[in-house]
């Protein structure tokens, strides 16, 4: 079948953000929009002739249509094979795994992650490289360059493929292989964790719930938690993926997963509960009566990982994004292993993982993962927690208390001010940057703009967030979100350390109120954004 060449003019703003290109669904649905971005990707990677790609997404509205477009274009460009999740579904970590185990050249993942789905909500598309991880900045910059100079794209005039049946078909000269989205991923999990120990824990009466939030992890959690681990049916909540995530917001935090939080906080709640996001790479961990902040979760996982077979030889290092609390550093310090601080976004962990410098990575935004794939992985974090609980035979709350009594506690919270006028938000950031040169207000030791030099390839990334260091060791970070689709979201990250012999059980917002007030004094944030309080606090 001969490829058809079609003329196209560049679309404005096809610039990948923290994790791929995210826009309103209707923007993606404009004629030629997906085609332009996909052709830009193919051009930026030197074409797709002879290549193998993994393709799948979180099942949101427009997922299926976009996949058909990508398949036609990959075939027209001469790709030899496309490996597609059945029904177009693949969680982000499962896609990363497939790229790796199948030795694919790359992958196209369709997701706007934790953003809501639907024709009036959000859509997204990102490219992952052959290590299974998100394209690094050099590649995303090349893609953006291509989007600005495109003149044509290549496709086939063919009918849609049926993506519902497992097996192989062809499209032009390309083989399309439809795979079960869960099989390889579940097999990988089984190599990392002590499934027998977790199964015994559950058989002994340990109770748990997993909220898939109507998103992609439903089938994975059912197969693994209810299937291989023997948890009773009904353990997985909201387990059927839907195009609009049940009209919810598939963001596993105490705001959007409130029913789950209420459940574990109640007298007869389960011993453990967890949730994952739209594309399955985030996690929220809860124990009876307690919410584990993602920063603490990373530290606890780092301290206990050797209890799981996949990590029994110990960790080489731990990496965290800059705004993530320093709790993980304290563990790394005690273990005498490397601690790395990277800019926000999983793409910055890829080199550290490939080079064997870090085994575990994490972000305050509910992302944790390891060198088993090159994405953060929601279910992986849940299974590692379960493995640790099965071995330590303590409650989540006691594990956390024990951790704080050993390392001290980094009180931590993130305050988001959403959909703020972009010019106002940029003004707030610019004014804070101008204050870095001093004179500094009383109580503040240093203000700087975070720059990162990758220790593996030496690449430098500037302007990765403003840091405010206080005299007493507390820290605040401010940055603008790179995943939003409306105005600007200002994120304010607050933390304060309390030593092991200090007060370890203050209510979090209370513990951080003085820092939040100091940030407001410094920036005029509330008045300038016109908000009396943050829209979301995690």
Which residue has the CB atom at the shortest distance from Co ion? 113
- Residue 346's φ and ψ, nearest 5 degrees, are -65, -25
Helix (H) or strand (E) segment spanning residue 352: helix 350-354
Q: Decide if 52 contacts 102 (C-beta within 8 A).
A: yes
Nearer to ligand VG1, 59 or 270 (CB): 59
Q: Shortest distance, CB of residue 345 to ligand VG1, whole angstroms?
A: 5
346 binds, among Co ion, ligand VG1, none (CB under 5 to 8 A by kind): ligand VG1
Neighbours of 353 (CB within 10 A): 26
Nearer to ligand VG1, 116 or 219 (CB): 116
* Per annotation, catalytic residue among 111, 113, 295, 481: 113
Between the alpha carbon of residue 187 and those of residues 97, 139, 148, 275, the distances in Å are 11, 31, 42, 21
226 binds, among ligand VG1, Co ion, none (CB under 5 to 8 A by kind): none
**Site residues (CB under 5 A) for Co ion?**
113, 277, 279, 281-282
483 binds, among Co ion, ligand VG1, none (CB under 5 to 8 A by kind): ligand VG1
Q: Shortest distance, CB of residue 223 to Co ion, whole angstroms?
A: 20
First to last CA, the chain: 52
Q: Shortest distance, CB of residue 476 to Co ion, whole angstroms?
A: 25
Q: Does the annotation count 113 as an active-site position?
A: yes
Between the alpha carbon of residue 243 and those of residues 25, 67, 283, 412, the distances in Å are 12, 14, 20, 34
Edge to edge, the sheet with strand 317-321 lists 338-342, 317-321, 360-363, 367-370
Q: Shortest distance, CB of residue 478 to ligand VG1, whole angstroms?
A: 11
10 binds, among Co ion, ligand VG1, none (CB under 5 to 8 A by kind): none
Q: Shortest distance, CB of residue 347 to ligand VG1, whole angstroms?
A: 9
C-alpha–C-alpha distance, residues 54 and 82, integer Å: 6
Nearer to Co ion, 23 or 282 (CB): 282
Nearer to ligand VG1, 253 or 344 (CB): 344
Nearer to Co ion, 290 or 536 (CB): 536
**Site residues (CB under 6 A) for ligand VG1?**
18-19, 113-114, 277, 281-282, 321, 344-346, 363, 365, 367, 481-483, 491
Q: Looking at 397-459, which runs of residues are DSSP E strands?
A: 409-420, 444-449, 452-453
Between the alpha carbon of residue 381 and those of residues 57, 308, 367, 376, 508, the distances in Å are 20, 12, 9, 9, 23
**3-class DSSP state for residue 465?**
coil
443 binds, among ligand VG1, Co ion, none (CB under 5 to 8 A by kind): none
Q: Shortest distance, CB of residue 230 to Co ion, whole angstroms?
A: 28
Nearer to ligand VG1, 117 or 345 (CB): 345
Nearer to ligand VG1, 226 or 277 (CB): 277
Q: Shortest distance, CB of residue 216 to ligand VG1, whole angstroms?
A: 11
Neighbours of 132 (CB within 10 A): 25
Which residue has the CB atom at the shortest distance from ligand VG1? 113
C-alpha–C-alpha distance, residues 319 and 357, integer Å: 9
Q: Is the peptide bond before 122 cis (omega within 30 degrees of 0)?
A: no
482 binds, among Co ion, ligand VG1, none (CB under 5 to 8 A by kind): ligand VG1
CA dihedral 272, 112, 69, 33 (to 10 degrees): 180
Q: Find, among 142, 135, 136, 140, the residue nearest to 457 by Cα.
A: 136
Q: Decide if 296 contacts 327 (C-beta within 8 A).
A: yes
87 binds, among ligand VG1, Co ion, none (CB under 5 to 8 A by kind): none
481 binds, among Co ion, ligand VG1, none (CB under 5 to 8 A by kind): ligand VG1
Nearer to ligand VG1, 282 or 374 (CB): 282
Q: Shortest distance, CB of residue 54 to ligand VG1, whole angstroms?
A: 17
Q: The dihedral of CA 125, 131, 133, 137: what is its sign? A: negative
For the annotated catalytic residues, the residue numbers are: 113
């Amino acid at each position: 079948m001969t490829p058809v060449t079609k003329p196209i003019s560049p679309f404005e703003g096809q610039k990948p953000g923290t994790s791929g290109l995210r826009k309103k669904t209707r923007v993606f649905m404009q004629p030629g929009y997906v085609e332009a971005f996909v052709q830009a990707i193919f051009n930026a990677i030197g074409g797709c002739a002879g290549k193998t790609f993994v393709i799948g997404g979180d099942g949101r509205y427009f997922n299926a249509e976009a996949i058909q477009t990508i398949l036609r274009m990959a075939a027209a460009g001469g790709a030899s094979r496309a490996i597609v999740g059945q029904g177009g579904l693949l969680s982000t970590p499962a896609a990363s795994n497939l790229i790796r185990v199948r030795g694919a050249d790359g992958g196209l993942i369709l997701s706007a992650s934790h953003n809501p789905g639907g024709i009036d909500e959000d859509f997204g598309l990102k490219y992952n490289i052959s290590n299974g991880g998100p394209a690094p900045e050099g590649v995303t910059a090349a893609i953006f360059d291509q989007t600005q100079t495109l003149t044509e794209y290549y496709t086939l005039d063919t009918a849609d493929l049926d993506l519902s049946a497992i097996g192989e078909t062809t499209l032009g000269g390309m083989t399309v292989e439809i795979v079960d989205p869960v099989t390889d991923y579940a097999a990988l999990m089984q190599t990392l964790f002590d499934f027998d120990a977790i199964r015994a824990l559950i058989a002994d009466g340990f109770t748990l719930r997993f909220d898939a939030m109507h998103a992609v992890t439903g089938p994975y959690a059912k197969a693994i938690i209810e299937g291989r681990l023997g948890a009773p049916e009904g353990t997985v909540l909201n387990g059927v993926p839907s195009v609009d995530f049940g009209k919810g917001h598939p963001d596993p935090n105490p705001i959007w997963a409130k029913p789950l939080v209420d459940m574990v906080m109640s007298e007869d709640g389960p011993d453990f509960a967890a949730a994952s996001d739209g594309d399955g790479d985030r996690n929220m961990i809860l124990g009876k009566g307690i919410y584990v902040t993602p920063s603490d979760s990373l530290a606890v996982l780092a301290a206990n990982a050797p209890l799981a077979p996949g990590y029994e030889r110990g960790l080489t290092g731990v990496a965290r994004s800059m705004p993530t609390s320093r709790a993980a550093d304290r563990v790394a310090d005690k273990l005498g292993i490397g601690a790395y601080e990277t800019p926000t976004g999983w793409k910055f962990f890829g080199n550290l993982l490939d080079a064997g410098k870090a085994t575990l990575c994490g972000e305050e935004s509910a992302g944790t993962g390891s060198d088993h794939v090159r994405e953060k992985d929601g279910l992986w974090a849940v299974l590692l927690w379960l493995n640790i609980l099965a071995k330590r035979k303590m409650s989540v709350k006691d594990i956390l208390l024990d951790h704080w009594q050993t390392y001290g506690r980094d009180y931590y919270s993130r305050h988001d001010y959403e959909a703020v006028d972009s010019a106002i938000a940029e003004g707030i950031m610019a004014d804070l940057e101008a204050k870095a040169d001093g004179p500094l207000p009383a109580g503040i030791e240093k203000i700087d703009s975070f720059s990162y030099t990758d220790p593996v390839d030496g690449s430098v990334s500037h302007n990765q967030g403003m840091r405010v260091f206080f005299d007493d060791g507390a820290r605040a970070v401010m940055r603008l979100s790179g995943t939003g689709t409306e105005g600007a979201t200002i994120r304010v990250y607050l933390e304060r350390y309390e030593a092991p012999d200090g007060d370890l059980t203050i209510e979090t917002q209370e513990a951080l109120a003085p820092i939040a007030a100091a940030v407001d004094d410094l920036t005029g944030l509330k008045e300038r954004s016109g908000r009396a309080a943050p829209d979301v606090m995690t």
